[in-house]
Each structure stands twice: as structure tokens, then as C-alpha cells.
């Protein structure tokens, strides 16, 4: 059973949301909502150096900052941030979700108020090209990144491997690597490492 993820799903996607299979939103429901259009609402802030390839939807109040690359099949909610040199590929950013610094977000869903630390990577493709399996459930998707519940915060340089689901309001330490699987809500995921410090030789 998956942990609670979202208090509410954006209206265009709500009817298609299955709490037991949230990754399904990234398939036909997203295609249906986006159609073939490139829709950028009045009030969205788009930096001139950003590259946007449709179909996309970018809501009023969203920010797309310098050097961002938004690839087709992306829905970005009000107040969301796609930051400097961040790439989004087939993603859903709920309102106020932030991928603000040097992030890769592939085939992923970021809940409301999610914040990715600088350099955080949401990887979406297995090297063996098999479909992504989450806790024994075959999603049927060859490309699937992470699904992060409302308010999740990741430390800098966190790497989420294909098929990660994180419950709402959970935090990760910097440098954590999350393997495929389901992580609980309202938790702290720590990284423990030992440092070997030796005298420098000249």
C-alpha cells in the first residue's frame, strides 16, 4: 500500500488519478490534457534563454529560469519553478513545486510544495531497458522516474533511481541515493558515511 501523497490533484488530472498507481498519470491522461498545444498562461515568467518544446502547459505564476530545458509532455502548475539549467522531461509539477538548480526530472511527478536540492537527479530509465518495478508491482512503463508527495524536500545531490515513491513531507539528507521502492511519509532519510582523513604528503 502506498503512503499518502497528495492532498489534492490539479483539476485537469484529478479524474484520472489512481492512488494505487499514481504513475498512470504520466501516460494517456497527461497526453489528453496537453493535446498538441503549447500553452503558456499570462503571468508565467519565462527567461529568454529557456528552451521549451511542446506540448506543454505552464500556468500563470510559474517561473522558467535561465538555461532551463522543458521537453514535450510537461505540465507545470501555478507558482512552480523550473530553475537554472534544469531539464524536465515528461513531468508533472503540482503548484509551487520547485526544481530550482541543476536538476534533471525525467518522467516524474512532484507534489505541491516539493523542493529539490541543487543537483538532484530523478533518473527515469533502467540500463537493462526492463519495465520499472516498484515493490513487486510492474508499472508497465520503461521510463519512470520518481513520484514525490506534497512537501517532500531532497538534499543537494540526491539521486532517485527509476521507480521511487516518497510519501508527503519526507526529507532526504544531501547525497542520498534512493533505490526503487516506496518510502514513508513524514520521515527523514539520512546518509551515514565514514571519512578517512590522513596527513597530506608533499
* CA 81/CA 19 separation, integer angstroms: 25
Percent of the chain whose pLDDT exceeds 70: 100
| Domain residue limits, the chain | 11-189
Instruction: Look over the chain and give the mean of its residue pLDDT values, rounded to a whole number.
Output: 96
Average pLDDT over residues 26-42: 94
DSSP run (H or E) holding 30: helix 28-34
SS3 state of residue 12: helix
Mean pLDDT in residue range 75-101: 97
Q: Report whether CATH 2.60.40.3140 matches the domain 11-189.
A: no
Grade residue 195 by pLDDT with cuts at 50, 70 and 90.
Answer: confident
Mean pLDDT of 163-181: 97
Per-residue pLDDT tens over the stretch 51-81: 999 899 999 999 999 999 999 899 999 999 9
Q: State how far the Cα of 176 lies from the Cα of 80, in Å rounded to an integer.
A: 24
Q: What is the pLDDT of residue 163?
A: 97
188 contacts 155 by C-beta, under 8 angstroms: no
Confidence (pLDDT) at 54: 87
Active site residue ranges: 101
For the stretch 68-107, what's the b/e string if a residue is b when 16 or more beta carbons lie within 10 angstroms of its beta carbon? bbbbebbbbbbbbbbbbebbbbbbbbbbbbbbbbbbbbbb
Q: Which pLDDT value is given to residue 95?
A: 98
In DSSP terms, which residues pair with 125 in a beta bridge? 143
Nearest by Cα to 80 from 109, 106, 54: 109
Range name among 41-45, 98-102, 109-113, 191-195 with the lowest pLDDT average: 191-195
Amino acid at each position: 500500500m502506498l503512503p499518502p501523497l497528495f492532498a489534492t490533484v490539479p483539476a485537469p488530472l484529478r479524474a484520472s488519478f489512481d492512488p494505487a498507481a499514481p504513475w498512470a498519470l504520466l501516460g494517456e491522461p497527461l497526453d489528453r490534457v496537453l493535446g498538441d498545444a503549447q500553452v503558456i498562461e499570462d503571468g508565467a515568467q519565462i527567461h529568454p534563454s529557456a528552451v521549451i518544446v511542446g506540448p506543454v502547459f505552464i500556468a500563470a505564476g510559474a517561473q522558467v529560469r535561465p538555461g532551463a530545458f522543458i521537453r514535450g509532455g510537461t505540465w507545470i502548475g501555478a507558482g512552480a519553478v523550473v530553475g537554472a539549467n534544469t531539464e524536465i522531461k515528461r513531468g508533472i509539477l503540482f503548484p509551487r513545486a520547485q526544481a530550482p538548480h541543476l536538476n534533471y526530472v525525467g518522467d516524474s511527478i512532484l507534489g505541491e510544495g516539493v523542493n529539490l536540492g541543487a543537483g538532484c537527479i530523478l533518473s527515469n530509465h533502467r540500463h537493462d531497458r526492463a519495465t520499472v518495478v516498484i515493490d513487486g508491482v510492474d508499472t508497465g512503463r520503461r521510463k519512470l522516474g520518481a513520484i514525490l508527495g506534497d512537501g517532500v524536500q531532497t538534499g543537494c545531490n540526491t539521486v532517485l533511481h527509476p521507480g521511487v515513491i516518497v510519501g508527503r513531507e519526507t526529507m532526504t539528507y544531501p547525497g542520498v541515493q534512493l533505490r526503487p521502492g516506496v518510502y514513508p511519509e513524514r520521515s527523514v532519510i539520512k546518509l551515514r558515511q565514514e571519512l578517512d582523513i590522513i596527513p597530506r604528503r608533499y
